[in-house]
Structure 1
Amino acid sequence: MGNGVESGVDDEQRVNLGVLLFVPYRYTEDRMFRALQEAGFDDWTLAQCRVFQRVAPEGSRLTDLADQAQMTKQSAGVIVDQLERLGYVRRVPDPSDGRARLIVIEERGRRAVVVAAAALDEILAEWKAYLGTRNFTLLHQILDQLREITDPYAR
C-alpha cells in the first residue's frame, strides 16, 4: 500500500479503481444512449444497444456476440431477433461456413452508429479539454495498454 504522498490522499480515502474505471464508462454509455433517443432511435433498450455495439463491421456470429456480451446464446438470440424486427440488423449466410449465419448491421443501424460516434466524439473532446491534451493522451495510452491483458477480444 502506498502512503498517498504523491496524490496527497490516504489509501483509505481513495475511490476504488474499479469504480473509477466504471463511472466514465457508464457516463459515456448514458450520454450516447440519450443522443440516440434524441435523434429518433428511441425504439430500443440499453440492453439491445449493448449487444448491437458488439456487432463487427463485417458481421458477427451469434455465439461470438453472446460470449462478448457475457450472456447465453439464447438470450443473445432473443435480443438479435428484436434488433432484426426493429431494422438495426439482419441475419445473412456466413460466406466462410454455409451452415452458420452472420448478424450484419442494416442501414438503420449504420445511421445509429453515426449518431453514437458523434456523441462519443463530443464526450472525448470535453474530457480532453478538461484533462488537457497531455493527460488525455496519457490516459488513453495507459488504458489501451491495460486492454492488452484484460480484453480477450482485443485484436
Structure 2
Amino acid sequence: MPDPHPALLMFIGARYVEQRVSEAIAAAGYDDLTLAMARVAARLSEDGIRVTELAEQARITKQSASVLVDQLERAAYVVRVPDPADARARLVVIAPRGREVLDVARREERAIEREWTRHLGAERMAALKEALADLREITDPWLPGR
C-alpha cells in the first residue's frame, strides 16, 4: 500500500506495542495473562469500573467481559468490591498482582518510547505525541471531561 491511511499506521504502532508488552509480561512470569484478559484489564481505572462499562469500552458483550473478569479474578489480577455509589453493584479493581503486571507493562512502554525517540528524534517524537493527543480530543469517547 503506497499511501496507508494514518489510522492504519497508528494501528500498526499500537499492535507492535501490544506485542512487546505482552512478551515482556510473559517473560516476567505472568504467562497466564491472555491478550483478551490484558485488553480488558487495560481499561481498569484507579477507582474501579463496572463490568458493563468494561464491556462498552472494550466493545465486547457484557457476557464476554464477565467471563474475562472472572478469569482475571481467578488469576488474582483483579478483585470485585462493592460499589460505594450503589450497594447492588460491584466494581472491578486491580489487585496487587495486577499492579505488578502493570509495572512490567509500564517499564516496557517506556523502553519503546525511548527507542522511538531515538529513531525519530526528540522533536519529532514530541510532535507525534502532541498530534495524537489532539486527535484524542475528537476520537476518545471516554476522555475525562468529554
Distance 2:5 2:124 in 1: 20
> Where does the alignment leave 5 or more consecutive residues of structure 1 unmatched?
1-11
The equivalent of 2:56 in structure 1 is 67
Give the TM-score normalised by structure 1: 0.91
The equivalent of 1:25 in structure 2 is 14
- Is 1:118 equivalent to 2:126 in the alignment? no
Q: What is the CA-CA distance between 1:16 and the residue it aligns to?
A: 2.3
Amino acid of the structure 2 residue aligned with 1:50: R
> Which residue, 62, 67, 88 being the options, matches 2:77?
88
Query: Which protein shows a greater Rg?
Result: 1
Distance 2:18 2:83 in 1: 30
Distance 1:57 1:24 in 2: 26
The 5-angstrom pairing of residues 1-155 of structure 1 reads 13-155=2-144
Q: What is the CA-CA distance between 1:97 and the residue it aligns to?
A: 1.0
CA RMSD of superposed structures (Å): 0.9
Report sequence identity in percent.
48
> Where does the alignment leave 5 or more consecutive residues of structure 2 unmatched?
none
Q: Deviations over 1:72-126 (max 9, x none)?
A: 1111000000000000001000011111100011110000000000000000010
* 1:104 counterpart SS class: strand
Q: Deviations over 1:35-55 (max 9, x none)?
A: 000000101210000001101
Amino acid of the structure 2 residue aligned with 1:101: R
* 2:80 counterpart SS class: strand
Q: Deviations over 1:123-144 (max 9, x none)?
A: 0010011111110000000000
